[in-house]
Chain A
Amino acid sequence: MLEIKNLHANVGDKEILKGLTLTIETGKVHAIMGPNGSGKSTLSYVLAGREGYTVTAGSITYNGEDLLALKTEERAAKRIFLAMQYPVEIPGVTTMNFLKTALNAQRRARGESEYDAISILKLVRAKARVLQVNEEMLKRALNVGFSGGEKKRLEILQMSLFEPKLAVLDETDSGLDIDALKLVAEGVNALRSPERSMLVITHYQRLLDYIVPDRIHVLANGRMVAEGGKELAHELEATGYGDLGKVPA
């Protein structure tokens, strides 16, 4: 469902991704591991279509379609979701209002009817309960003053609400204590489905003990340098990324 071939991408004038290739099948959970600065977040932004992240060569095909031809919000409407490493604060906009606006924007883009405030409220409440996102959080301004755990839980709540076909989770474990991590992982696991592919980005194996991937890729210096099954996480844990980052460009 996702095919990335020989992807080269710049941030500004600097080349960050240097010939990255990755294929994900429908319903599979892939993990990308790699040292800090290897280009993991850059890949997630290129997939989401963030401004300033320029693809200079290579291709990305998403469900048979040229992903790079789509605008950021079109990709979202086509069910690509990126749970961000640093969820953004929007003062004065309640979380509930944001969820409603976003869901309806996606539905409108897909030619579906919009939900009214009450149906959305019901929908969100039901999903929020599972993730222990309480009512009071939904009334607060989006991510403003949220703890790290609350922010990440809200990202997963959105993932659950928007029902993506491809969910990219960038360092969803960062800044979480073990209890918060377990809660988030449970939420993610509950969303695993044969129709949904996931790309879980992390630089610790810890998360992968809870979200067990089908495949693991190792990214270093802008390209994939190793690939394997779930056991690869523990091998890396033992050996470290070591020389992987020094693979010639």
Chain B
Amino acid sequence: MSADTDTKDQVAALGEKYKYGFVTDIEMDKAPKGLNADIVRFISAKKDEPEWMLEWRLAAFRRWGEMTEPNWARLRYNKIDYQDAYYYAAPKSTEKYKDLDEVDPKLLETYKKLGIPLSEQKMLAGVAVDAVFDSVSVATTFKGKLNEAGVIFCPMSEAIRDYSDLVRKYLGTVVPVTDNFFATLNSAVFSDGTFVYVPKGVRCPMELSTYFRINASQTGQFERTLIVADEGSYVSYLEGCTAPMRDENQLHAAVVELVALEGAEIKYSTVQNWYPGDENGKGGIYNFVTKRGDCRGARSKISWTQVETGSAITWKYPSCILRGDDSVGEFYSIAITNNYQQADTGTKMIHLGKNTRSRIISKGISAGKAQNTYRGLVSVHAKAANARNYTQCDSLLIGSQCGAHTVPYIESRNPTARLEHEATTSKIAEDQLFYCLQRGLTAEEAVALIVNGFCKEVLQQLPMEFAVEAQKLVGISLEGSVG
């Protein structure tokens, strides 16, 4: 049964239905508010998906209906009304402006500080950019090089059509459809995302970045990313979410799955700067994300690096399943919360194979009235002889109204495991600030410098071009936190 026939039949069938069901909406490229099986069918049809994909989504949707939203995280937010949202629509923030003048000046100021070129600023702010701009040609040379190496790097919707077998083989094998409330929701309604496949023995010739791809197609609030590194391959993937959306408490529920086969290595870096809400805690993204990597083969390695500065709520635990013997998992995290932001983030390192090693470095920075929680699990299963973990959780508080919390869970069923955990909580000392001010830095520059120093071990993990942006972001996200 070829994917093509699947697709055609499916579209034909659904096309009929939707012509009647959502006529105007189709013209508007938007499904009506709310969530039901027809919406799921609509999304699948819009994407020309093969039947298996639709079935997959529908199964997820049925399952989701039986699940309840988790409430174990240290997060407080208004109840999300899942029927009061659009599941297929151009989100408000990506409405096209005719001119940069129409865009919120605060937003532009942020872009300027980040040093984002004007053409990209327009793209990020959702300004209609005419015809060609620089990155189009960049994207083309880029595609050519990847093709030569045999690397597949394309939107998920395209992959589902063009590489159906590959996607089908791996999708949902790391984060099962039934994994958790938000992942299951994502499985039902995911809009788009990225698919990467690196063939055996190939070292991906460049850092892959969603920046390039977002230029080509706007990804939605429910991205689905799948990266498969075949035996002995290497890939570094960068995900930048520097497009702050300006919606009221918009839900963002992405799923990322990584599969590293024998001897493969995946490095996944994120700089997340979704809209955090205003100084009074109004608005901001609810970021409920499931990210997990499976070190499926022996000697494989998965390394997560995240810089989380945005979102009103962050619920995110990029994890590693260390299945293959001698596999390695790493988690490097910076989570910054200011004003009324809340973050509950950390990782799970599941040691299944022998001689598996993991390393967790978490830096939480809290300012204003924000709450920042590190939540982590290190689990060593019975067969994981000689498993090793090193965990270091450092919290930095700015001001006296914010909170930092560390919730480390450790389970070990193998006596040969060696697990180390270190945690510190500190404040920016007055004498450090004074010293910086006396040497001419403003209070904001001083905080940015001190916090960047505090985060250094994690920032060092980022690819160069991202590190610079992330450093600036650290400063920007803490503006107004002192003096």
Contacts and interface: CB of A to CB of B under 8 A. Distances in A.
A73 B441 contact: yes
B438 interface: yes
B440 A93 contact: no
Given A102-B439, A162-B439, A90 B449 contact: yes
Q: Which residue, of A71, A91, A105, has the highest number of chain B Cβ atoms within 10 A?
A: A105
A114 B99 CA distance: 32
Nearest to B457: A92
Interface stretch (A19-27, A76-84, A125-133, A188-196): A76-84
B445 interface: yes
Interface in B165-202: none
Nearest to A143: B435
Interface residues of B, number: 23
Given A51-B434, A93-B450, A93-B452, A88 B429 contact: yes
Interface in B344-372: none
B440 A90 contact: no
Interface of B: 429-432, 434-443, 445, 449-450, 452-457
Interface in A32-91: 45, 48-52, 71-73, 75-77, 81-82, 84, 86-91
Contacts of A197: none
A102 B430 contact: no
Contacts of A77: 440
A76 B453 contact: no
A221 interface: no
A102 B452 contact: no
A90 B430 CA distance: 12
Contacts of A93: 449-450, 452-453, 456
B440 A82 contact: no
A76 B455 CA distance: 27
Interface string A147-178: 00000000000100010000000000000000
Given A51-B430, A73-B441, A88-B429, A102 B453 contact: no
Given A51-B434, A73-B437, A73-B441, 13 more contacts: A73-B440, A73-B443, A75-B438, A81-B438, A88-B429, A88-B431, A90-B435, A90-B449, A90-B450, A92-B457, A93-B456, A105-B440, A158-B439
A162 B452 contact: no
Nearest to B429: A88
Contacts of B445: 101, 105
Nearest to A86: B431
A91 B449 contact: no
Contacts of A88: 429, 431-432, 434-435
Nearest first, the 5 A-B pairs at minimum CB distance are A92-B453, A92-B456, A106-B440, A93-B453, A102-B439
B224 to A, nearest CB: 36
Interface string A87-130: 11111110001100111011001000000000000000000000
Contacts of A105: 439-442, 445
B441 A102 contact: yes
Nearest to B446: A73
20 contacts: A48-B438, A50-B438, A52-B430, A72-B434, A73-B440, A73-B441, A75-B438, A76-B439, A76-B440, A77-B440, A84-B435, A84-B438, A88-B431, A90-B436, A92-B454, A92-B455, A93-B453, A101-B449, A102-B440, A106-B439
A49 B430 CA distance: 13
A207 to B, nearest CB: 21
A45 B431 CA distance: 11
Contacts of A158: 439
B424 to A, nearest CB: 11
A48 B457 CA distance: 33
A162 B440 contact: yes
Contacts, number: 80
Nearest to B450: A90
B238 to A, nearest CB: 23
Nearest to A104: B440
B478 to A, nearest CB: 15
B454 A91 contact: yes
A237 to B, nearest CB: 31
Contacts of B453: 90-93, 141
B40 to A, nearest CB: 48
Contacts of B431: 86, 88
A92 B438 contact: no
A142 to B, nearest CB: 8
Contacts of A72: 434, 437-438
A189 B457 CA distance: 40
A92 B452 contact: yes
Contacts of B456: 91-93
Nearest to B435: A88
B422 to A, nearest CB: 15
Contacts of A162: 439-440
A54 B393 CA distance: 38
B386 to A, nearest CB: 32
A71 B436 CA distance: 13
B21 to A, nearest CB: 57
A90 B432 contact: yes
A21 B144 CA distance: 76
A109 B449 contact: no
A215 to B, nearest CB: 25
A186 to B, nearest CB: 23
Contacts of B429: 88
A105 B441 CA distance: 6
B440 A50 contact: no
B271 to A, nearest CB: 19
Contacts of A102: 436, 439-441
A13 B431 CA distance: 19
Nearest to A79: B440
A14 B445 CA distance: 31
A74 to B, nearest CB: 9
Nearest to B441: A105
Contacts of A50: 434, 438
A71 B452 CA distance: 24
Nearest to B432: A88
Nearest to B454: A92
Nearest to B455: A92
Contacts of A89: 432
Contact of B438 (A76, A86, A91, A101): A76
